[in-house]
A and B are shown apart, each in its own frame.
Chain A
Amino acid sequence: PKQDSLMDDDPEDLFAGATEEVSLDSPERDVLLSDGPSPAITPITPPTSVIAPRIGHAHDDMFTHSSFDEIEEEEGGDSFDVHISVSDPEKVGDGMNAYMAYKVSTKTSLSVFKQRDFSVKRRFSDFLGLHSKLASKYLHIGYIVPPAPEKSIVGMTKVKVGKEDQSSNEFVEKRRSALERYLMRTVKHPILLKDPDVLQFLENSELPRAVNTQALSSAGILRMVNKAADAVNKMTIKMNESDAWFEEKQQHFENLDVQLRKLHASVESLVCHRKELSVNTAQFAKSAAMLGNSEDHTALSRALSQLAEVEEKIDQLHQDQANADFYLFSELLGDYVRLITAGGSGDLELYFYFIFFRIRGVFDHRIKTWQKWQDSQVLLLKKREAEAKLQFTNKPDKLQQAKDEIKELEGKVQQGERDFEQISKIIRKEVGRFEKERVKDFKTIIVKYLESLVQTQQQLIKYWEAFLPEAKAIS
């Protein structure tokens, strides 16, 4: 008879349960790890330990327990030197089959890349495909995989249909910027940087088109986790400091989520009002020009025309500032809201669910296997007694079976403990890295944003200084 694997279900089944067809009606649609239904996923066949992700290529050895520390050392040694830009959006094809192709250029001196300066053409679904692969490989073992930019049916349709207007240009620019930020975040992650799918994405001139309709949904993973937890008896877990740490972190991120959303909403409102201000200033400028035309006092007429010109320049200033408001401040917040958020692509929360169930599951399972072992020992005892009786009947198989069972159980418990420690370690590290990254991001970008505000004020001063003598010249 087959022994229990680590989880109650067959590992194959486990992950089969996690993938699912996505339909517009499925409630999980909102919590898809990647928002698109299309990309193909190589279904995961995990090895006996669920921890080690399937890499497929020569990098397998990186992820055994011993090599994990190697990566840490590598991180410290290698200075981060990758710069990715997404540019030159180009419409390919016509009508509803059209798509935007973006140039993805990489400049780097890292040895993991084949070249130092190269570029490829990618489309949006390629990005989604990359994200799906990374999510399915790394999410469940504790890595914070950056979420892919969001799909937008309306936005894309406009572009496909060929509307060459302001709003579709803005949409393409927003997307381009988001894709760039996505890739930069991904390569900043020391593990993801070396992932073969990432490398392939950046380097290969041709990429197999992501067509499969299956997607690894976070709801699916959740169900899998719940299944595992349900299958095990509930029991009390002794609170050690690592549980407390996780709980505290979860609370921290929940609070952060709320605050960032609020801030994000205010910044979005600012962007909106600044755009409005720009439009209204432009209109006022025209009106002032007309007024200047009809004014019959020459000097005043000229001054009014000058005022109109100043206001026109200022309206452009407001427009530029609104863009900075958006692309720097607002998008930064949006990205982090998506990274942290409890709903939507709730990757991080998922980790914590996973951890808790995992911890509990492992403990539960550990206790259970201990129980089983106890039972087996009792069984063994019984069997020994029976054996003693059986000795005369000579059945060595059953005895051996009991001994084998016990040995396997002991092995499994040890493995579970190791797994548990490993995943805790990874998560702690990830959270630490994430927070460091976040601090850096916020500081850098917000300072950049403030510098844009400085520039605006400097321009304003220039314009009004030019106008003042004109106003004084009215006599």
Chain B
Amino acid sequence: MFLIISLRERTRSGSASATKRDQHHVIFFLIIISRDLVTLSTSCHQPFAAMMQEGLDDGPDFLSEEDRGPRAMNVDLEMDATLQVDISDALSERDKVKFTVHTKSTLPNFKQNEFSVVRQHEEFIWLHDSFIENEDYAGYIIPPAPPRPDFDASREKLQKLGEGEGSMTKEEFTKMKQELEAEYLAIFKKTVAMHEVFLCRVAAHPVLRKDLNFHVFLEYNQDLSVRGKNKKEKLEDFFKNVVKSADGVLVAGVKDVDDFFEHEKTFLLEYHNRVKDASAKCDRMIRSHKNAADDMNRIASSLYTLGTQDSMDLCKFFLKVSELFDKTRKVEARVAADEDLKLADLLKYYLRESQAAKDLLYRRSRALVDYENANKGLDKARAKNRDVLQAETSQQLCCHKFEKISESAKQELIDFKTRRVAAFRKNLVELAELELKHAKGNLQLLQSCVGVLNSNT
């Protein structure tokens, strides 16, 4: 079931005699998405047919792939029955998004086999940070935290639309409203997907899935009372990062004896930068695409007006071309949206993951440096014949830590590559298939229109 409830809310502007200008018509949407239970395995997906808006109704199959997109980014995750996590519901309110995290598990440590809780973005961040801060997980690629839901741009546009309602025709207004609704919806779905991917990665990881915080996150049905970081903590974080990057430079200079890690280091550094660049350029490309689609929308409106006003000979002609532009721009908008989903989001995700992988390498290098320092310390202690035992213990600890990290890091990096290749493959194939589908759809629209126009003249 899919409902869009639009609420018009007037912000209080003080005096009762506020002019119309002062009153903002802000259009909020409560979007309630409920899906059936879906697992990450692509086989039993319910198409999001219900997610369609009226305006997009003329091409039901245009949307059917949509929901498979970002969520199945890491297709290789083996989901087993012991722990399945997904986001079954999401609610968008003024400032925040409330995710319904749904878990199905046969693990003994959960009270029930199936349960749901409501979580907000901050709680996801808390979970992520708790992984980062946990020394035991130093040897793993910590799944990157989902980005904060950002509806500001969309909200601004909706607000502007509300303000400008008087200055455009009814059709234009309806069209723009539909467009903005679609945009809002797309952003919303994306943020849901990103949060879900994070949870699924954690659930798929052999060690992280056992984390206590994770279980609390999944099960505890009260508010976790996680507050966002206050200024002091944010400042601390900032300095930590500064230290880390300075450190990282030092550490990166140390050549690794191990060929595998040396290769990975070089690779990741370059790869990360290039993914960053590709991601930025991809976003720009898609934005231009959206702009072009918007222009077509305006062209369609103008042609429609001309069609209702002009001389008899041209009326029908203009109306038909207007219709065509309307349909074709919907296709173009979908092309941009799909490119966004399959390509832009993919690149963004791997930007974050490659950063997480770099962090892992950094931690390992740090451990190596510590190990080497401990070695030096031991030698010194032995030379001076003082605190030898202490130094030995310390050295052993460092050695053990380093080796543990190295071992798990190696596996993690290999898995990372596998996941990456699989994700790229899936998304590139789907991208190509969607581009083809839309181009063919577009072609058909255009050809049939040209045919009609030619036969009429």
Contact = CB atoms under 8 A, between A and B. Distances in A.
A291 B317 CA distance: 47
A454 B450 contact: yes
A468 B292 contact: no
Given A277-B292, A295-B271, A300-B421, A284 B450 contact: no
A281 B335 CA distance: 14
Contacts of B321: 446, 450
Interface in B250-292: 263, 267, 270-271, 274-275, 277-278, 281-282, 284-285, 287-289, 291-292
Interface of B: 263, 267, 270-271, 274-275, 277-278, 281-282, 284-285, 287-289, 291-292, 295-296, 298-299, 302-303, 305-306, 309-311, 313-314, 317, 321, 324, 328, 417, 420-421, 424-425, 428-429, 431-433, 435-436, 439-440, 442-443, 446-447, 449-450, 453-454, 457
Interface in A77-130: none
A239 B314 CA distance: 30
B275 A291 contact: yes
A191 interface: no
Interface of A: 252, 255-256, 259-260, 262-263, 266-267, 269-270, 273-274, 276-277, 280-281, 283-284, 286-288, 290-291, 293-297, 299-300, 303-304, 307, 435, 438-439, 442-443, 446-447, 450-451, 453-454, 457-458, 460-461, 464-465, 467-468, 471-472, 474-475
A291 B450 CA distance: 41
A264 to B, nearest CB: 9
B429 A277 contact: no
Given A284-B284, A303-B425, 17 more contacts: A255-B309, A259-B305, A259-B310, A263-B303, A263-B306, A267-B295, A270-B296, A276-B291, A277-B289, A277-B291, A280-B281, A280-B287, A286-B281, A291-B274, A291-B278, A438-B314, A457-B439
A460 B435 contact: yes
Contacts of B457: 443, 447
Give the interface SS of chain A, mostly helix, strand, loop or mixed. Answer: helix
Contact of A300 (B295, B299, B424): B424
Contact of A442 (B289, B317, B447): B317
A458 B450 CA distance: 14
A461 B443 contact: yes
17 contacts: A259-B309, A260-B306, A270-B292, A273-B292, A277-B292, A280-B284, A280-B287, A286-B281, A297-B421, A300-B420, A300-B424, A303-B424, A446-B317, A450-B321, A454-B447, A457-B439, A464-B436
Nearest to A460: B439
Nearest to A276: B288
A115 B442 CA distance: 47
A235 to B, nearest CB: 34
Contacts of B298: 266, 269
A465 B436 contact: yes
A287 B278 contact: yes
- Find the residue from B324, B417, B450 having the highest chain A CB count within 10 A: B450
A396 B270 CA distance: 115
Given A457-B439, A461-B440, A294 B302 contact: no
Contacts of B305: 259, 262
Contacts of B420: 297, 300
Contacts of A465: 436
B285 A280 contact: yes
Contacts of A447: 450, 453-454, 457
B289 A262 contact: no
A454 B271 CA distance: 38
A297 B417 contact: yes
Nearest to A329: B299
Q: Which 3 A-B pairs have the closest CB atoms?
A: A277-B288, A270-B295, A263-B302
B288 A468 contact: no
Contacts of A288: 278
Nearest to B440: A461
A273 B275 contact: no
Contacts of B324: 450
Given A447-B450, A450-B449, A454-B447, A442 B429 contact: no
A471 B431 CA distance: 9
Contacts of A435: 311
B270 A294 contact: yes
Given A284-B281, A290-B278, A297-B421, A450 B309 contact: no
B428 A471 contact: yes
B295 A443 contact: no
Nearest to A311: B285
A274 B292 contact: yes
A443 B324 CA distance: 14
Contact of B295 (A260, A273, A280): A273
B274 A256 contact: no
Contacts of A307: 428
A307 to B, nearest CB: 7
A294 B269 CA distance: 10
A460 B295 CA distance: 20
Contacts of A475: 425
Contacts of B443: 454, 457-458, 461
B313 A439 contact: yes
Contact of A280 (B288, B309, B314): B288
A55 to B, nearest CB: 33
A387 B163 CA distance: 83
Contacts of A304: 424
A218 to B, nearest CB: 26
A417 to B, nearest CB: 31
Nearest to A462: B439
Contacts of B436: 461, 464-465, 468
